[in-house]
Chain A
Amino acid sequence: GQNIDQPTEMTATEGAIVQINCTYQTSGFNGLFWYQQHAGEAPTFLSYNVLDGLEEKGRFSSFLSRSKGYSYLLLKELQMKDSASYLCAALDSNYQLIWGAGTKLIIKP
């Protein structure tokens, strides 16, 4: 079956760095997305990886290893507004998104 695993909850300190891991098992693979979702709001796009390696976008970076079925989202210089859920989603061979349950990130002062 298809499956996405990511931690349920993580806590980090303002100004620090946090890495949110995601492992996936899908029927075929056409890329991996990370979305940010604040409570009560719809998800917003953060990143897309289809090739191995690190993609950097400002304070956020995303890494992919296709051979390991593994990705991570790296958040630097954490701000209080980064408190949100982070959703990992893999695109399968039918170009359908398979969603993880999300990681709730709590930022403490």
Chain B
Amino acid sequence: GAVVSQHPSWVICKSGTSVKIECRSLDFQATTMFWYRQFPKQSLMLMATSNEGSKATYEQGVEKDKFLINHASLTLSTLTVTSAHPEDSSFYICSARPPEAGEVNEQFFGPGTRLTVL
């Protein structure tokens, strides 16, 4: 199946700093990538849909100026958490949808990035 990687796997930072998370599709081109956030014992919450070459579409309640998304190429999307605060500590997961997916709209997930803001 398609492979999606994320970097870093985990990060600890001080409050007020910015953190960048990369999501790469390794063996396919992804025109669309998705960014999710998952708090402990909760389901995935879609934050935004990242479209290559255009602005991301943010879900209601997600601050676009705080969570900057850049999808500059067909294999890379980045999420930057600006001025991170302890409440931003969470598990951030990206996913990508191959254009020729055997299953309609099947998404392949990256391994996730655990962010801890002190």
Contacts and interface: CB of A to CB of B under 8 A. Distances in A.
Contact of B106 (A42, A48, A87, A96): A48
B111 A41 contact: yes
A2 B100 CA distance: 28
A40 B10 CA distance: 11
A48 B103 contact: yes
Interface string B68-111: 00000000000000000000000101000000000111111111
B104 A48 contact: yes
B44 interface: yes
Interface string B41-78: 01111100100000000000000000000000000000
Q: Main secondary structure on chain A at its contact with chain B?
A: loop
Interface residues of A, number: 20
A70 interface: no
Contacts of A50: 104
Nearest to B112: A42
B104 A87 contact: no
Contacts, number: 48
Contact of A102 (B1, B43, B106, B109): B43
B60 to A, nearest CB: 12
B43 A42 contact: no
Interface string A77-99: 00000000001000100011101
Interface of B: 1, 42-46, 49, 91, 93, 103-112, 114
18 contacts: A30-B104, A30-B105, A33-B106, A40-B112, A40-B114, A43-B44, A43-B93, A43-B109, A45-B1, A87-B43, A95-B104, A95-B105, A96-B46, A96-B49, A97-B105, A97-B107, A101-B42, A101-B43
Interface of A: 30-31, 33, 40-45, 48, 50, 87, 91, 95-97, 99-102
